[in-house]
Amino acid sequence: MRKVYYIDPDDNPNEEQKETVALPSSYDEATTSESYLEQLLLEINTPVETADDIYMVETKDSRKVTGEIDDVVLAKAKAAIQYCNAATEYNLANGGNPWKYVLLSSSEVKCNSSLKFLVENGVKI
């Protein structure tokens, strides 16, 4: 496993880096770093924790979330939102951060996208 560190230029540059994603060794490292990161962002659905929130980020093919959302994608998104609500209730009762679900169109994800940009431009459910 390797680790990729997420760096958000909109965040405080003096703050210690907290967000990492472990990569399976099976990823094709011969690709360019840009396409490698885009491949990673499109395939991994993972929680991302910031100082104030925990985001469940899910990326789907833009054809399934543009216009009318695909039925299967919508059903999974609704289940993920229920999970986030339950996790938030537990976390807030125990001193933790709230969970937020973010559904992204693959066309919005670029290797230079900040977390703030992605959250603000997520697909509306």
Instruction: Taking the CA atoms of 26, 110, 18 and 58 in sequence, report the sign of the dihedral they define.
Output: negative
**Does pTM top 0.85 for this prediction?**
no
Task: Write out pLDDT tens, residues 7-52.
Answer: 444 544 455 544 444 444 444 444 444 555 555 555 556 788 899 9
Q: Which pLDDT score is estimated for 61?
A: 86
Sequence-distant (≥ 6) Cβ neighbours of residue 11 within 8 angstroms: 50, 116
